[in-house]
Amino acid sequence: MDYDVIYIGSGNAAWQGGRFLRKAGLKILIVEESLYGGTCANRGCNSKALLDAPYEIKALTDNFEGVGKAGNFEVDWSALMKFKQKRIAGMSIFLDNKFDEYDLDVAHGKGIILDEHTVQVGDKKFTTDKIVICTGLKPVIPDIKGKEYLHDSTDFLDISELPKHTIIIGAGFVGMEFASILAEAGLSADVIIRGNMALKYFHQPYVEKIIEKLKAKGINFHFNQTVKEILCDIEIENPEAKVSNVVQAMNGDEYLRDPEAKIDNIAHENAFTVNCDSGLSLKGDYVIAAMGRQANVEDIGLENVGLTYTKSGIKVNGHLQTEVPNIYASGDVADTGVAKLVTVAIHHSKYLAKELLGEADEITYPVVPAVAYTIPRIATVGVPAYIAEQSDEYDVHQIRYGNSYSLELKNDLTAEAKVIVDKDLQIVGAEIYAADAENVANMFAFIINKKITLEELDYMIYAFPSSSSVCLYKLHNIHYDL
């Protein structure tokens, strides 16, 4: 065999564990057809975080309207985008160097499984003992008239100027987070939702708070609507074309364009009409498909080894093993029933390294915090409130810590959480609505996973002022009142 393990895909689901296998003496090959590092590093989490941050700051400064704010905080999207392109371009190069540092072999091209022990990349064939599929997810693009005019998250995160009016189809993570950026930029948008809920996996009273904030800033919501066609009133040459992954000069620096982004990545004023089955018709400058993501496994040779898949991915057992014993799936492409987050992908990859070394039992998961990076953020961790509210096994305590500690929270009056405890007064879940909900969620994840009691939390001393300390102080009240 040429290799002990071949990973198809180079994201966190692959290299995080691959480096440990190499350290243990196994020979590893990572196959990548696009940019090293996968979606999160190049066209997902990192890009979104960088572009979102100034708008988050703008929202925080607005808390001081009338109580000290002077002037307006404005974001220069064009300058921000140039900075993002240079910064994110370095991620793939950085990871390529890391692969060298970890002594991981790489092959650039599409990995195709020929049989249980052979992967073809271009005109080369590599043999291996084990194969790990880490190809992630790709955006869902509806098969409707005018689908070539749709842009996905990769396109929006590389757009040169923000559209004056955007039409967003879908209200999951991508749709709602982009709507928040557009709202803080003072721009308008229509959000089309097939069902009756946005961010359906999050606490709906908090989602409704976000929707009301967005409505007040020019974002319109249309529930129970199905898009049937997209019409374009102008001529766009080859709207489905992608940019080439070439090095280009910009302000004296070099960067890599994302080969997944469209060439026609600009807005065209009032050029598009989106029609729905109900008769609803909307006009806008730019249309985004934010209808979720599906397994990215087409044309990688699954049929050659008898593997099947669904939108949710490739079915695996408790060892991340597919129906073919020596082939595994890791990260978002694995259908495990667990949230498809980069943090889970890292957990998979590290577990799989131990599994392939014969050092692991079936995979287990700690509680997994999930965050919607809207403005403000909402987060969920552990037992959700909607389950707790329908069960006699739990009690739900509402903590409006922003109202009580507005001075310590930079005048954030609305920060709150719902904390779920079981009958032994053990914290088992939390829902958070706050500017820094992600940090508070991490705190609760630690409390829940380590089973820290209310009495133990009451004994500890915390840095003050801080969002975690004031939230924890409110938890003390649960302890004292019971």
DSSP per residue, 119-182 = EEETTEEEEEEEEEE---EEE-----BTGGG-B-HHHHTT-SS--SEEEEE--SHHHHHHHHHH
Selected residue with higher pLDDT from 139 and 247 = 139
- Kindly indicate the confidence band of residue 251, based on its pLDDT and cuts at 50, 70 and 90: very low
User: Stretch 109-137: mean pLDDT, rounded?
Assistant: 97
pTM for this one? 0.94
Please say if the pLDDT value at position 252 is more than 60.
no
Residue 279, both tokens: 């008769």
pLDDT of residue 292: 95
pLDDT of residue 409: 80
Phi-psi region of 337 (alpha: psi -120 to 50; beta: other; left: phi over 0): left
State the virtual CA torsion across 377, 153, 340, 348 in degrees, nearest 10: -110
pLDDT tens, position by position, 472-481: 888 877 766 5
Which residues lie closer than 8 Å to 477 by C-beta, 6 or more apart?
none
Residues paired with 145 in a beta bridge: 229
Q: Which domains, ranges and CATH numbers included, belong to the chain?
A: 3-139+294-356 (3.50.50.60), 147-291 (3.50.50.60), 376-481 (3.30.390.30)
What is the mean pLDDT of the segment spanning 218-246? 86
User: Which pLDDT tens digit goes with each residue over 282-341?
Assistant: 999 999 999 999 999 999 999 999 999 999 999 999 999 999 999 999 999 999 999 999
